[in-house]
A and B are shown apart, each in its own frame.
Chain A
Amino acid sequence: MNLRWIGKPIPRQDAWTKVTGEARYMSDLSMPNMLWGRVLRSPHPHALIKSLDISEAVACPGVVTVLTHHDVPGLNAYGIVVQDQPVLCSDKVRFVGDAVAVLAAESKEAAAHALELIKVEYELLPGVFDPEVAMQQSSPAIHAKGNVLRHSKVHHGDVEAAFADSAVVVEREYRTSRPISAFLETEGGMAMFGADGVLTVYCGAQYPDRDVIQVARALGLERDKVRMVSSLVGGGFGGKDEITVQIYLALLALNTKRPVKLVLSREESMVTGWKKHPMIVRMKTGASIDGTLLAHEVSIISDTGAYASLGGTILHSAMEHCSGPYRVPNVKVEGHCVYTNNSISGAMRGFGVNQVTFAMETQMDILAEELGLDRLDIRLKNGLKDGDKGALGSLLVTAMGPVQTLQAAGQTELWSQRETYKAEPSRPWKKRGVGLAAAIKGCGLGFRMPDFGAASVELLPSGFFRVRVGCPEIGQGNTIAFAQMAAEVLGCSVDQVEVVTGDTGETPDSGTSTASRSIYVAGNAIIDAATKVVELVEQGISARLVVDVEEVELGEAEVRAGDAILSYLDVAALLLQNGQTCYASGRFDAPKATEEVPSVYGLPHLVFGTNAHVALVEVDTMTGQVEVLRISAVSDAGRVINLQGLEGQSEGGAVMGMGYALTEDIIIDQGMVRTLNFNNYIIPTAMDTPPISTTVVEVVEKTGPFGAKGVGEVVCISITPAITNAIYDAVKVRVTELPATIERVLAGLQDG
């Protein structure tokens, strides 16, 4: 394929406006006559609401409305899968931060003051904070149906027999932490009614079309009376997949008929935002003497906090990826997803795969050590290929990249010269180590969920093309990739293409910007639409100028029609002024696996992206401080659409996974979040970030747009065990609990 735009490192169209500050966050919006909203939240992790008195707050000067559960006109609940989270709690609160009332006032100050005047009487209930305790029958029930949200089991092959045949069996327990996305822009936005009676909610979000459904359902409105706009969001990472503040904004606008703005403070965001699920992962893995994996038994207990959101689906995703990028013929896996009175867990970049990959990649290093095998060799030997079965026994049929990706990781300078890199630590009391790990991550929504892309392409009177796609730009750079794909098909330059995303009033529903899917599904839909538009233009010009269709060709800046050369402006004038349509919609339905995995709803995935990481660390043996000195990432994205975008994802993902490895953790004590801001929620700073190099492996996916897969999540997964494995390589401290804080590493050093 001779490609003009695909794969090129073309700068994103929003880069300039973001750097200069011209680009606005949704929460920067402001309107005349605008009110300020606030949410009253529970200070208790588990309590009954005995009484609720808003009279003083209502009477407070400047207060326009105070709303409680009585004022939710539709369904007083939300949730992507199960609607078990009240919009406003009526009888019970289940975590610190649960919403009890919302209000709107003329000023921020009045809103804050009025919040203090709402009187809620609680009767405290015993809280449950440990998921293993929560699972017990005798524990207080957080929801009427009990504390186990999902319990699933899969067994294929014969695990017992295979363990008996194994030369070595490694059994360990892993515990993972509770990081939060910590996006730049906290949850917030504005809502207002238009002259047409449509309620528009401007709010950073990852699936505006589904937010419309949830908002309309809670407000009891028709869906076409609600519009969601999400654009240039200050980061999502999964934390804006579920409803955040959309319903509160909409309720307040509905009741006041004025524009209302509501932005969570960082503290409120830390308490109420969606966290990654902490998991207890027990793994028993057996291998033959040559390192061939034979048996794998896994138990996962996942703490979903007070409400379901995507907890069940994330558990299943963890189960599907529980053998990492490796082939194991006999697997038994059991998962529990459990309610607790901790704050809520939901989608966060990696969707359950980070936790199990950290565990599995540690198992692989232990196996290699016990068998005296090279850490790369044992991985290559077991790397998943097309035709293998995945952890749940389903057949993997397309573009599996682990072997190629691991081979490329083995060829990085950091891995091949690792002894040289390790030889000279910067101080006598420091030691260096190099770690290796790989990961796969399914792209898209799996077997059951409708997984489609939709887009439209049209020629505008200006001679530009406009592409419309539902999947919002959430900072990841899909806009420029969309423009490149459209331009590649249209034949015009990328600058000729404008992209609109994430506005339900303007863009076709194209599914979520999550699950590493937007390039894959929306890209295919754009190709479909753009192909049709090329035909429309060719046929239109052919008819107008009376030349053969074959003689019409769309070029970078102009269109050739026989001997005539037309600018795009001329083309637009010629066609549009004569009533010709130059608009087409495109659609793509993601292919599915042929069979569903029995007993785990919605699996398997069909297409997987792969990533590998090599990390060099230096450990201070006296302080426990771990410094990451260098990272080499290898990314199998299928065909790369935009190299700069891929590198951005790769670097950002590596730093996020490094924070997961070393420092990031929302600490909750008896239900109280103690890490309320960045003074104690510790994210790596620019000074902690090492040089990161990215190598690209293109295991082309036939069904992908130009062969592309998705990379948004897989880039942040294997870096975590690459770092913890490097710590072991340096100082023989085995990290089984995340994060590997300074004090945990020091304790390991002192034990060892």
Chain B
Amino acid sequence: MFNKFDYVVPTSWADACSFMASHPTAMIYAGGTDILVRCREGRLLPSHLVDIKGLPGATAIAQAEDGSIVIGAATPLNAIERFLKGKAGYEALVQAAHVVGSWQIRNRASVGGNICNASPAADTAPALLVLEATLRLVGPSDERILPVGEFFLAPGKTALLPGEILRSIVLPAPAEPTVSIYLKAARTKAVDLAQVGVALLMLPDKNVRVALGAVAPVPLLAWSGRQSAPPANWTTEETERLVSVVEQMVAPITDLRATADYRRHMVGVLLRRAVGQATLLHQERGEGR
């Protein structure tokens, strides 16, 4: 059963922000695939839903002159997948966008909604973490840029201040040849949330980043740093060292989707597989050059 709410369509980001600031019980409405489910369950009782999809740039995705990619917060996941497909380095986000829900869901579900909803299992979050995305947050009086790593505070809780809206997400241009991978464990091949999500990014200079979903209260950047070998000369010992470091970071829970033990187990399994896929991609690209 839905509570009664007003549907609001602002015409500028500034209007949207000041409306949000003056209506503490209003909520931003993008694809609605999280918010409507929760409203129906009576877990959210917004007084207003403020639809941002029509605001300038809200559903736009484009490459800037410096090579970075700017994604409007309300851009649906299918559009993101289409745009980024084949662009080296962004594999993790393409793969993460692709495994959310179903085709129909991905036509509505936005990347902004996925992270603002702040579920620990949000599929795009680990990908954005390893890609070092930055978030453009606009408020009633000013705006700020926040690294995505500082965005998630607790389940369902983000660093957004009252009246603040996520306007866009910026993905810096990755150094060539970067490779990234996102792997998800779930009970079915579609329409299930992640039991565990693992994103991995390997830079050419031995730098590696690993981010995890559904194994801690927030999506987690579990590792970012130099390894002793670049992707091309990667060894099993290197993988195992990475796995044992990353495994230290997790604090999973047991729920109906998976037990804590299974989640812990799957972090290692998926990370090893991600490393395997990433090094293979690296080699293929190296040979192709």
A interface residues with partner B (beta carbon < 8 Å): 108-109, 112, 622-623, 625, 663, 667, 674-675, 678-680, 682-688, 741-743, 746
Contact = CB atoms under 8 A, between A and B. Distances in A.
Contacts of B190: 685-688
25 contacts: A108-B1, A109-B1, A112-B1, A622-B269, A623-B185, A623-B266, A623-B269, A625-B185, A663-B188, A667-B256, A678-B191, A679-B192, A679-B193, A680-B256, A680-B257, A682-B192, A684-B188, A685-B191, A686-B190, A687-B189, A688-B189, A688-B190, A742-B187, A743-B258, A746-B262
Nearest to B269: A622
Contacts of A741: 187
Interface residues of B, number: 18
B266 A682 contact: no
Contacts of B189: 685, 687-688
A4 to B, nearest CB: 42
A674 to B, nearest CB: 6
A112 B3 CA distance: 11
B269 to A, nearest CB: 5
A683 B265 CA distance: 24
B141 to A, nearest CB: 38
B226 to A, nearest CB: 28
Interface of A is mostly: loop
Contacts, number: 43
B1 A682 contact: no
A742 B261 CA distance: 13
Nearest to B102: A685
Nearest to A113: B1
* Chain B CB within 10 A, most for which of A623, A663, A680, A687: A623
B221 to A, nearest CB: 24
A484 to B, nearest CB: 36
Nearest to B185: A623
Contact of A743 (B188, B193, B259): B259
Nearest to A684: B188
A742 B189 CA distance: 13
Given A623-B266, A686-B190, A687-B190, 20 more contacts: A109-B1, A112-B1, A623-B185, A623-B269, A625-B185, A674-B256, A675-B256, A679-B193, A680-B256, A680-B257, A683-B188, A684-B188, A685-B188, A687-B188, A688-B189, A688-B190, A741-B187, A742-B262, A743-B259, A746-B262
Contacts of B102: 685
A675 B187 CA distance: 14
B250 to A, nearest CB: 17
A174 to B, nearest CB: 22
Contacts of B185: 623, 625
Contact of B188 (A622, A667, A675, A688): A688
Contacts of A680: 256-257
Given A112-B1, A743-B262, A682 B187 contact: yes
Nearest to A679: B193
B96 to A, nearest CB: 17
A675 B185 CA distance: 20
A186 B158 CA distance: 37
Contacts of A682: 187-188, 192
B227 to A, nearest CB: 23
Interface string B233-262: 000000000000000000000001111001
A112 B2 CA distance: 11
